[in-house]
Structure 1
Amino acid sequence: MRDRPAGLAEAELMVALTEGWGIEPHSVEYLPVGAGSYHWSVLDRRGTASFVKVDDLGVDVAGRDEAFDRLGRSFATALALHRDAGLDFVLAPVATATDAPVMRLTSRYALSVYPMVAGAAGDFGAHRPEDRVEVVDLLAELHEATPIVADTASRADLVLPGRDRLEEALRDLDREWTGGPHAEPARELLSVHGGRVRRWLADFDRRVDQVRNTAAAWVVTHGEPHPGNVMRTPAGVRLIDWDTVQIAPPERDLWMLTPALARMLGDDPAGDADDVIARYTRATGRTVTSAGLALYPLWWRLADIAVFVDELRRPHGTGEDIAASLTYLSGYLESSRD
């Protein structure tokens, strides 16, 4: 996230930190890192550093309250996993003075605060073979904590987010897109690959039908346990970015340990994951289904495509983030291996 959040002044951020967490900022540094959220490093007057995150609740005003509620449930789940389930690897937000996990900063933005942890996360992509055992053990422990957060976490509905707008875009390929400088290149790209996207959507529907009847065996999942969300610290491995946590099929997490992620990114897979999946089954007693492992690469690919297409059709300028959206869309459509 190279561009700063539109319409948000750092002065608003500083006031909210004091009101919500009692943090009196001495210095504030914007961190152009990550994807989907905005981040700052904040040093208070006592020399304590905090990692501050702002989430965009959406351009559409009508959906912001629902988005904030979902975010609150997700962060409350992370807090419960850390505090009640005793999962030290869950890097949860710091609660506000009223014990809330997140604060409404403005109509459009939500604010959360995290401890500043020494360590480094990896990059988005496939896990190295030598790291998979460590990650699958964390996921097994997380999934076993389901009873503690069963009433807190939201449940997956198996509906592809943004599908209606993606299908509208597919129907609108014969007309010029005028949202901004990257709109027409996006339309031309989708025109070339529209048939492929439609096939993916049909395959997605078939996989959903196969997975829906497994709901009784669903578990609490992180949702995005790729290397970019695995932080290695002096105190051990931490899983970060819990806004995607849901009760869902275990394969929602486990597919990222399989060759499917590398193939989706157009890379050559490094080995298979049979031993890692078998290790998970031994630890949890749960059967991992091929239908579930096939569903979630499709979900991820199509959900990202829907986001990028929607951004590129809306009014936009020449910022780095919107240019990156076109690059990522091109990567999915031109590099992914079916």
Structure 2
Amino acid sequence: MRDEPADVDEDRLLSALADWGVRAVALTHVPLGFGDHHWSATDTMGRRWFLTLADLEHKTFLGEDPRTVLDRLEGAMDTAARLHDDAGLGFVVAPLRSLSGATVHTVGARYALSVFPHVEGVSGEFGQVLEPARRDRVLDTLAALHRCPPPGTAHTLPVALEGTEHLAALAEDPRGLGDHGPLSGAVVDLLDEYGSALRAHLTWFGHRAASVDPARAVITHGEPHPGNLLWREDRPLLVDWDTVGVAVPERDLWPVTDDPEALARYADASGHVPDPDLLDLYRLRWDLRDVVEFVDLFGAPHRSSPDTERALAELAGVLARLVT
């Protein structure tokens, strides 16, 4: 997020870091991504850590209430830690365990903190097209992940998407969103303009999702796009593991490539032959999930800020893309 949370001060974060045995003397807010808040922490010896603070009220892809979100976030962070520590997957940038062995600590009733090692590298951006050599290295990395037996903490993820029934109702009657802030009216207008196309996509997605064979499921990262890759020379590291879970491999493959030769290379390395129809299904699922999350944001009290203005622009872009 670009904005710092108004209800969390540095003293609370410094106190929470003590659970990891970290005595930080400096915190620097990092305006990065959309959804979580981030800081860099430094101690008296110059050692550094990367902090991620999850907002349990606005992480609908993990659940519809803060308690469910926290449970699933803990499972995801524990899974990432096990993939790194127990399975030996060095490309997993996993959360560090606190002195009590936890990977997540609550900060008040609304937030949850995870602490990561500071890793130097160069990241990309969502939507960036990787040149073939780097694309193939990412596919090799995913093949290694998909060959790994899922840890017991890994959550099995349904293809079906939570929140689509509510979204379908709003696509039918956009004014049901209500007026919860300065941008609600613009969202109502977008739902009114694109409602017909949105309903058609939701119907097709529901039918196709119900037919996916769960026997093909593997452990997946969930969002291995360039924005979640950290390059150390020519070696890709995967960050942002809150989406980890057991699903079909196409969940990870669609953001990387749909090139048949590249996917054949992945199949040889992983033993899993990609299904082009499932690549399309998960590409659509990504867009629908974005719409669900943005509509959820503007269907609750909000204010105008760089983050909400950006969310509104991205919602408009996703809906326009669905039409085409």
What TM-score, normalized to structure 2? 0.94
Partner of 1:115: 117
Paired residue type of 1:2: R
1:132 Cα deviation after fit: 1.4
Amino acid at match of 1:331: G
- Deviation of 1:326 (Å): 0.6
In the aligned structure 1, how far is the partner of 2:111 from the partner of 2:177?
A: 32
Task: Please list, as runs of the form range in 1=range in 2, the aligned pairs for 1:234-273 lying within 5 A after superposition.
Answer: 234=233, 236-258=235-257, 273=259
Conserved in 2, the CA contact under 8 Å of 1:207 and 1:294?
no
**Structure 2 match to 1:53:** 52
Evaluate the alpha carbon distance shift between residue 87 and residue 245 of structure 1 in structure 2; reply closer, same or farther with a 3 A threshold.
same
Contact 1:124–1:228 (Cα < 8 Å) also in 2: yes
1:156-192 deviation per Cα after TM superposition (whole angstroms, max 9, x unaligned)? 1222132233223224325684211111111111101
User: What's the RMSD between the two structures over aligned residues?
Assistant: 1.9
| Distance in 1 of aligned mates of 2:146 and 2:217 | 9
Q: 1:1-338 to 2 correspondence within 5 Å?
A: 1-18=1-18, 20-58=19-57, 63-130=65-132, 131-145=134-148, 147-149=149-151, 151-174=152-175, 177-211=178-212, 214-234=213-233, 236-258=235-257, 273-336=259-322, 338=324
Q: Residue type matched to 1:134 in 2?
A: R
Letter in 2 for 1:5: P
- Cα 1:117–1:235 change in 2 (3 A) is farther
> Matches of 2:137 and 2:118 in 1, distance apart?
23
Stretch of structure 1 that moved more, 7-16 or 86-95: 7-16
Secondary structure of the residue aligned to 2:241 is coil
Secondary structure in structure 2 of the residue aligned to 1:35:
coil
Shift of 1:314: 1.7
Q: Give the match's secondary structure for 2:252.
A: helix
Aligned partners of 2:31 and 2:38 also within 8 Å:
yes
Per-residue CA shift, 1:28-76, capped at 9, x if unaligned?
A: 1111111211000111122111101100111699821211110111111
Structure 1, unaligned runs of 5 or more: 260-272
> Secondary structure at 1:26's aligned position in 2?
strand
Provide the C-alpha distance between the structure 1 equivalents of 2:257 and 2:224, rounded to a whole number of angstroms: 12
Q: Which amino acid aligns with 1:31?
A: V
Report the alpha carbon displacement of residue 4 of structure 1 after superposing the two structures with TM. Answer: 1.4
Describe the SS at the equivalent of 2:54.
strand
Q: For each residue in 1:296-325, what CA deviation from the matched residue of structure 2 results, as whole angstroms up to 9, or x when unmatched? A: 011100010111112122221111111111
Q: Distance in 2 between matches of 1:320 and 1:119?
A: 27
- Letter of the structure 2 residue corresponding to residue 255 of structure 1: W
Output the CA distance in 2 between the equivalents of 1:315 and 1:148. 39
Task: Tell me the matched-pair count.
Answer: 320
Aligned to 1:196, the other structure's residue is in SS state helix
Post-superposition shift, 1:337? 6.0
CA-CA distance at 1:9 after TM superposition: 1.7
Tell me the SS of whatever aligns to 2:314. Answer: helix
Q: What corresponds to 1:264 in structure 2? A: none
| Residue pair 2:36, 2:53 contacting (<8 A) in 1 also | yes
Checking the alignment, whether the CA contact within 8 Å between 1:179 and 1:314 is kept in structure 2 is yes
Q: In 1, distance between residues paired with 2:167 and 2:197?
A: 13
8 Å contact from structure 1 (residues 118, 234) kept in 2: no
Kindly tell me: are residues 62 and 123 of structure 1, through their superposed partners in 2, closer, same or farther at Cα, counting changes over 3 Å?
closer
Question: Closer, same or farther in 2 for the Cα pair 1:76/1:208, shift >3 Å?
Answer: same
Shift of 1:5: 1.9
Query: Following the alignment from structure 2 to structure 1, what is the Cα–Cα distance between the partners of residues 160 and 10?
Result: 36
Change (3 A) 1:62 1:152: closer
Instruction: State the SS of the aligned residue for 2:26.
Output: strand
After superposition, the Cα gap between the structure-2 partners of 1:6 and 1:62, relative to the gap in structure 1 and judged at 3 Å, is farther
Matched-pair identity in %: 38
> Mean alpha-carbon deviation: is it higher for 55-64 or for 199-208?
55-64
